[in-house]
Amino acid sequence: MATKGDHPSNDPSNDPSNDPKLEDERGLNRRDFVKTGVAAGLGAGAGALVEPGEAQAQVSATGAEQTVWDYEVDVVIAGGGCAGLTAAIRARDLGASVLVVDQNFDLGGRMLHSGALVSLGGADPVQLRDMKGESDDEGLVTVDPLENPEELDDSVDLLFTDLTDWSVVDPKAQSPYRYNERELARSWAENCPATRQFLMDNYVRFARISGTHGGGGLSRARAAQCFLMLGDRTDMKAGTITAEDAGVADPERTSAFAPVQMTNATRTAGPNAVSNGVALARPLEFSAREKGVEFMLHRSFDELVREQPSTGKVLGITAHYSPRQHPETGELLQSYWQNGNVDERRETVNIRARQAVILASGGHGGNPEVRSMFYPALREPAFPTSGLALQGPGGQDASALIAGLRVGANLAGMQQNLSYGTTFHITTRLGTRDAYTSMMPGHPTFGFRASAGVNVGNTGFEEFIAVNQVGKRFFSEVRLPARPGLNRYPGDRGAPGRGLAHTPLDWRNCRKEWVREMYNYDHGLDAALAINEGSEAPDYYSGPLWAVFDQDAVERTGWELRYPYVSDNGYFFQADTIEELAQKIEADHEFQRVPLSYLVDTVATWNGYVEDGADPEFERHEDAPMNRIATPPFYALSIMVIWHDSYGGLRVNGRQQVVDMQGQVIPGLYAGGEAVGGFNKHGLGKGHVHGYIAGTQAVEEPSS
């Protein structure tokens, strides 16, 4: 496994561009450089932070209170994920000193465990490259283009039309583009080509364009995965990664570098190419550190400091210490790279932004109280957001939304959580609470989940019965993981024309006769979250869900019910009788609040249905085979509802400036990514372009 010492080329402190002698040439104020012990491992030439004595002399009125500043930089960014890292690099490129504050111990946010599919468009450089049939500048992409030139023939105007198309209705009968903020969508479209080039200029490599990510339009192909090449060293400049670091040397092990095992990208890039969020997050992190961006990790963003509670400029932020310890050793977790880290362990610090604060701390999927405004049933705390182990309890906590509201920010797109199929969904990975990804042992946060889970796929739902917290079936199991289409090229069967045959802005796309014909949403998720006999006032929690099956099912499927896929962590149970299985679940699952009183009868009734060849309750016999549950041992695996991404959030304009309830810009405050609402675009492309715009505009703010 690679370590920092193994790869000197990956240490930004070895880059001559980081020579302190060049500091003044970059427009940095040497007087502001931290000279005391409050910072450790600062990137040479970063020069961002004031001395404690100097900081204490700088105060500003916030209502009747006086704020004492502990640190001062040009631009403060809350969040080190896709929007935050992009904004940080862009602002640093334009001469600003930048400090990124993140609640986690490592950078990348959920981008680090993503699929690295970046959907942009508007005639971006990768679209143009593939139209010409060319390779990348390094010659790493060796496969032919996957889309025909006419499928890549894009423009900013066409992209903007797609993003604001009133006529498109998806198979859930939702309108994915109709309610997008128009100024925000136009600015996003105009900045897509420049953002793609920016990412490539910061060590990100793109494979061939293949389709489009959800919410990215139905008219053209616009999405490309990021990749690295397997090699004998992990080197972001060269675009290589070792098999150990990529997590592909051992099928049951990952690494500190890659929390999720990278996947084979031969089809889209060429032999020895591997892909996932590591190929996007790590190159950007490396570039940011190389350029002198500084990072304060283990630090949760709490509040914005404004000149007055609802007027004046935003001056900075308050953040508290949020240390994450290793789940086995108790030691403080450390980021993979540490150059540029500020080791600050006081409980609370105030950080002044001379020019601007950028909120990029993610969405609200990890905050049950906030997300319940969109779907009250998901106040149920048993169901987490994605990346729970990686990000910890502070991930996706709605911190930007909450802080923004406190200083008078407006909201946008609050209904759009309902119009994307992965916002909340039932995952096919069973037996782990952190069920969105397949993390294996080797990453330091694996112990927080303790099991990788068993990914049974959609067909695996044929092999068990699914029961709620009282042990009752509630829907046809085989329909539970079904999701509606995702509004993307070449089509999701929502629009009558697929691929190049799609016609934007055509009333026939939403003709009521057509909508009746194409509608195909299954409501299994909603049945899973329904009130049941175990739901109690005031919240009426629906409780956990369980897949129940027997040894015959294990032998039919070959499911490996062993570590690291399952463990004794309260999300997998085995017993010799159904009665004992129910007792074990009640005793040892953290969210099982009531007995599974009906489980024995439910299994007996199911076995009767199997004998009769029909399921009168949910008509499952019409969709899949039915098998008895009769051969011990008997098993239960947790079924998870995951709230993945967020679509409602702060209202911003086309410059990513946060807007208040009167439609006025809040001076000095920007936001991007899932902290922002009004843009129903799935995936990384949204955050990267937002970050690029915010970083560009923030440095134009007058310094104070």
Q: Partners of 676 in the beta sheet? A: 650
Burial category of 201 from C-beta neighbours within 10 Å (exposed 0-12, middle 13-18, buried 19 and up): exposed
The encoded tokens of residue 673 equal 């990514």
Segment 480-488 shows an average pLDDT of: 86
Q: Report the side by side order of strands in the sheet with 545-550.
A: 465-467, 545-550, 634-639, 572-575
Which DSSP state fits 33?
S
| Per-residue pLDDT reduced to its tens digit, 64-118 | 268 999 999 999 999 999 999 999 999 999 999 999 999 999 999 999 999 999 9
Nearest to 88 by CA among 296, 314, 326, 278: 296
What are the backbone dihedrals phi and psi of residue 675, each rounded to the nearest 5 degrees, phi first? -75, -15
Assign 275 a pLDDT band (cuts: 50, 70, 90). very high
What are the backbone dihedrals phi and psi of residue 353, each rounded to the nearest 5 degrees, phi first? -110, 115
Domain ranges in the chain? Answer: 4-108+289-363+398-419+645-698, 112-284, 424-484+521-643
The encoded tokens of residue 306 equal 């404004």
DSSP string, 224-252: EEE-EEE-SS-BTTTTEE-HHHHT-SSTT
Assign 1 a pLDDT band (cuts: 50, 70, 90). very low
- Using omega within 30 degrees of 0 as the cis cutoff, is the peptide bond preceding 490 cis? yes
Determine the Cα angle at 234 with ends 229 and 235, to 5°.
Answer: 85
What are the backbone dihedrals phi and psi of residue 641, each rounded to the nearest 5 degrees, phi first? -90, 125
Segment 251-268 shows an average pLDDT of: 97
* 281 vs 8, residue with greater confidence: 281
Q: How far apart are CA 82 and CA 684, in angstroms?
A: 7
658 and 650 Cβ atoms separated by less than 8 Å:
yes
Least confident of 56-60, 476-480, 626-630: 56-60
- For residue 662, the SS3 value is coil
420 and 176 Cβ atoms separated by less than 8 Å:
yes
Q: How far apart are CA 17 and CA 696, in angstroms?
A: 22
Q: How far apart are CA 620 and CA 609, in angstroms?
A: 10
Q: Parallel, antiparallel, or unpaired: how do β-strands 263-264 and 240-241 relate?
A: unpaired
Cβ partners under 8 Å of residue 571, min gap 6: 431, 432, 433, 451, 589, 637, 638
In sequence order, which ranges of 132-223 are alpha helices (DSSP H)? 149-152, 156-163, 182-201
| Per-residue pLDDT reduced to its tens digit, 148-177 | 999 999 999 999 999 999 999 999 889 999
pLDDT of residue 36 exceeding 90, the answer is no
Q: Identical fold at 4-108+289-363+398-419+645-698 and 424-484+521-643?
A: no
Predicted pLDDT of residue 65: 62
Instruction: State whether CATH 3.40.309.10 applies to domain 424-484+521-643.
Output: no
Question: Beta-carbon neighbour count of residue 35 at 10 Å?
Answer: 10
Cβ partners under 8 Å of residue 127, min gap 6: 121, 152, 154, 209, 220, 221, 222
Cα 484 from chain centre? 20
Q: What is the 3-state secondary structure (H, E, C) of 283-327?
A: HHHHHHHHCCCEEECCEEEEEEEEEECCEEEEEEEEEEECCCECC
| Per-residue pLDDT reduced to its tens digit, 283-310 | 999 999 999 999 999 999 999 999 998 8
Segment 196-208 shows an average pLDDT of: 98
CATH code for 4-108+289-363+398-419+645-698? Answer: 3.50.50.60
Q: How far apart are CA 604 and CA 347, in angstroms?
A: 56
Cβ partners under 8 Å of residue 112, min gap 6: 106, 259, 260, 277, 278, 281, 282, 390
Predicted pLDDT of residue 485: 78
